[in-house]
Structures are given as C-alpha cells and as structure tokens.
Chain A
Amino acid sequence: MDLLRDLLDKQVVDRRQVKIGKVDGLVAELRHGKPPRIVAVELGSITLARRLGSRPGRWVAWLAARLGGERHAEPHRIAWKKVRNIGVDIEVDVDVRRTAIFDWQDWLRDHIIGRIPGA
C-alpha cells in the first residue's frame, strides 16, 4: 500500500458511517533497524495547519487551545488498530460522539444553529 496515495486526505467515517473528517495526517513510529510503522491517523485543523508550515501549525494549535481548552491543544488521533476498512472511505471503529472531533459542531448546534426556528 502506498500510504500517501491510499490513505492521506481520504474521507474518514465512523462506526455509524458518519463523515467525521479527512485523514489530515499520519503518525509513524520509527523503529530501530526496522521500517517505520503507522500507529495512528490524525484529523483536524492543527494537523492541516502543520502541513502548511511550522508557524501556521503553532498559531492554529494556540488558537485551538484558547478556544477549546486542553482537549483541543493537540490534533485528534485515531489509533491505527481502529481502522476497519479502506475503500472509497476509511472506516474506523470509533463513535464520533465519544471523541472531541465534533465538539465545535456540537457547540455550533447548541448555541447557534439549534436556536434558529426550524432547525
């Protein structure tokens, strides 16, 4: 498998087929004398910003921590062993409701969208 081609930037769906984001980054473990191994996929704005450069990465990490607290100071990580299926989408054995990934969408729903009639 070609990691960059077959994994990076693909759609991630959770256990219930909810679209939770893209594979924004991959976390590899360097092992002595053996090829590196993928241990997790990363999602979220901090990872994306790091791809643009170290400075945007720092800014967005600072901003995310300011807005979202400690829980959001680091990118969201999903362990590699949770990956169930790699097809058009990448399915992970995770329930997005139990992660911090959609905290901002929940906030938006609870504070703004949900308060507009007809939502």
Chain B
Amino acid sequence: MKKLLEISLGIVTSVGGFLEVGSMATAAQAGATFGLRLIWAILLGTICIIFLVEMAGRFAAVSGHTIADGIRERFGFNTFLWPLLATLLVNFMVMSAEIGGVAIAADLATGIGFQWWAIPVAFLAWLFLWKGTFGFIEKGVAVLGLVTLCFVVAAVMLKPDWKQVAAGAVPSLPDHDAESYWFMAVSILGASISPYLFMFYSSGAVEDHWDKTYLGTNRAIAGLGMSFGGTISVSVLIVAALVLGEHGVNQVDDYHQLPLLLIPIFGFWGFVLFVASLAIACFGAALEIALQQAYLVAQGFGWTWGEDRKPREDPGFCSVYTISLLLAAIPIGLGLDPLKLTIFSMAVTAASLPLTVVPFLFLLNDERYVGDHRNGMISNAAVIFVIALGFVLAVVAIPLQIFGGS
C-alpha cells in the first residue's frame, strides 16, 4: 500500500513536472507549422527519456550515488569537467527560458512587459528554494502542474482525426520547409530528453533515500510518469495543429499567439488555463533546474548538499542556486525574446546529450556500482541510440540553427 502511494506520488510528480517551456513551445510550433506530422519526435524523445530516467533512478537506488557523483568518480575530475561545464551552460540557458515563460504568463495576465517580471520571478523561485524542503518543492509544484492536463482534455474535445494522429506517430519526410521541419524535430527531441530531468531524478532518489527495494517503484514511475508527461506534450501539438491551423496561424513566432490555443475550447477560461499552465509549468521547471545546478556543483566537488537543510548548514550549495537564478534572470530582464531563447536552448540541449549520456554506458554496466542490476541489451541499445542521436543532432543542430531556425 505504501509502495502504491509512493508510485502514484512519483507519477504525479513526473507528470506535473514534465511539461515546461521547451516542450510547450516546441510542440506548439511544430503543430502550427506541420500539423500532426511531428508527433513521432515527441514519442521518440519520450521513449528515450523513459530509459534514461529509469537508469538514473536504478543507478542511484543500487549504488547510493547520483549520476554526477558517478561520472566524477568513474572518469576522474578532468573528464568530469566537460559534462559539468556543458550541463551548467545548457541549464543556464534553459532556466533563463523557463523564467521567460513565467514572465510571459505574467505579461499575458497583467499587460506589464515580460522583461519587468524576470527579477521578481527569479526572486520568488529563490524564496521557494530558500525556505522550502525537497518534498515541498517536488510534490507541491507537481500537484499544481497537473493543471497542464487541460491540454489533454482540450485535445480530446477537439475530436481530432485519430487516424491522422496515428499517422503522425510514424516518422515521415516533410513536404515543405525541410530545414525548418528537421530543426523543429531536433528542438522537440532536446525538449524531451533534458539532462536536467534525469540528473535531477537521481539526486531526488538519493534525497529520498532510495535503496534496492525501490527498483520496481523506479521502473513504474519512469515508465508511466514519463509516458503520461509525453501525452501532455502530444496534446499540446494536437491542439496547436487543429486550433492554430484553423485560425490561419501556421508560424508561432510570438508568445502572444499561444493563449489562442485554448480559447476556442474553453472560452475565457481557456485563457486563464493557458496562463496558469504556462506559469506553473515553467516555474516548477525553473525551481528544479536551479536546484539541479546546485546539486551538480556540490556533488561534483563533494560539498554538503541537500534541499532539506537550512541554508546556513550548506552555504556553498545555497550560493550556487542563488547565483544561478540571478544570472538566468538577466537575459530576460534585458528583453531577450523568451521564445527564441527557448527554441535555441532546446537545440543546444540536444547537441550536448552525448557528453551526459555516454557515461551511462559505463556506469550502468559497471558491477561495482550496480551489481546484478546492470543494463540489459535493450537498455544498452537505448543508450547507444541516444548517443548516436545526440551526435547527429550536434552536427545537424548548429547548421540548422543558422539556416533553418526561425
């Protein structure tokens, strides 16, 4: 019974935490421009993240190490520096985009320009981390995040042609704007396979004192939680394809177009639901990423860490999330377009994947860490696939950004 409760809580957490500015913006753009044809990219990304999250949780439960600990220990400091710096940079950009997402929601709600909200949003996030415990952050924000399920309701109510939805789940070649098509596919993959997601998950498992008895729980949470999360992203895409397409919007290049998504279905409440979804989803993600920055540095250098401690017990840890939030607020405060930043940072995330995922291949096959719970053939194949995908994306994403990006 206790396990069942834990599993449901874990699923709620991953569902509530799944949607963030990246998955929302990329799915909406893809739906508007290419209809239902890019659903496959979300499915592919979701399958990849299920595998990586399951592995991160298994590694933490069996070895007592977070992924960051494992990389440093197994490969040494000099090698660890590369994924460390890459992840810090990618996280900085993504966190900035999330702050931008909340700021846009505040802008939509009040009419006061988004750049004025950057610092207040960062401050509020900081306050949550400063005063909150891990359980409060993880579960509180996740429960609120369930508001994003309104996209699923909307998608069903729109009665899409399910045959076309199924056809979109199969990869296909674009019939127009090929560069833009592939660039969007890359951004969607980057938004789905976020390093912060699986690294945060392994830190969470250690914070919650997981051991081998949690392996089943871990598998259920990774599989079901991420699948439900992916369903929300697909719903955003479906809604964007049907609603925006119908209104003649086939290019999302401004956040102000987005509330239109839910208005035809829910009327004025659609606007409220959209603003709430955007604000909560992005705020939750900003909290998790800020925390992940602090975990990463503290774990990498062996400092005391833990969100359940008082700030004065781990000053180094708190300083990292404080500085990270402040820095991430700056680009938005200066008026950098959050939508552009989002799409760009998703592509960079995709390109950075090999650095964080290659270590999985070693860590999850090393008996000294995972004992009998090593990767099977399928898991290893999945890791190799993500690495290969990451390499291709690294080579493809940057040129596409220059030639095909909006």
> Which residues in A have some Cβ–Cβ distance to B below 8 Å?
4, 8-12, 18-22, 24, 43, 48, 51-52, 88, 104-106, 108-109, 112-114, 116, 118-119
Contacts of A48 in B (CB 8 A): 77
Contacts of A52 in B (CB 8 A): 78, 81
Does B312 contact A10, Cβ atoms closer than 8 Å? no
Does B315 contact A19, Cβ atoms closer than 8 Å? no
Contacts of B134 in A (CB 8 A): none
In the complex, whether B76 has a CB less than 8 A from a CB of chain A is: yes
Which one of A11, A43, A113, A114 contacts B69 once the chains associate, using CB atoms below 8 Å? A11
In the complex, whether B3 has a CB less than 8 A from a CB of chain A is: no
Q: Which residues from 282 to 334 on chain B have a C-beta closer than 8 Å to any C-beta of chain A?
A: 301-305, 310-312, 314-316, 318-319
Closest to A20 in B: B302
Number of A-B contacts (CB under 8 A): 67
Closest to A96 in B: B304
For residue B211, give the distance in angstroms from its CB to the closest CB of chain A.
12
In the complex, whether B8 has a CB less than 8 A from a CB of chain A is: no
In the complex, whether B208 has a CB less than 8 A from a CB of chain A is: no
> Which residues in B have some Cβ–Cβ distance to A below 8 Å?
63-65, 69, 72-73, 76-78, 80-81, 130-131, 301-305, 310-312, 314-316, 318-319
Does A9 contact B73, Cβ atoms closer than 8 Å? yes
Closest to B310 in A: A119
Contacts of B311 in A (CB 8 A): 113, 116, 118-119
For residue B60, give the distance in angstroms from its CB to the closest CB of chain A.
11
Which one of B65, B78, B80, B130 contacts A88 once the chains associate, using CB atoms below 8 Å? B65
Closest to B127 in A: A118
**13 further interface pairs, Cβ-Cβ under 8 Å (given A11-B73, A19-B302, A113-B319):** A4-B76, A9-B76, A19-B305, A21-B303, A22-B77, A22-B302, A105-B315, A108-B315, A108-B319, A109-B312, A113-B315, A116-B130, A119-B130
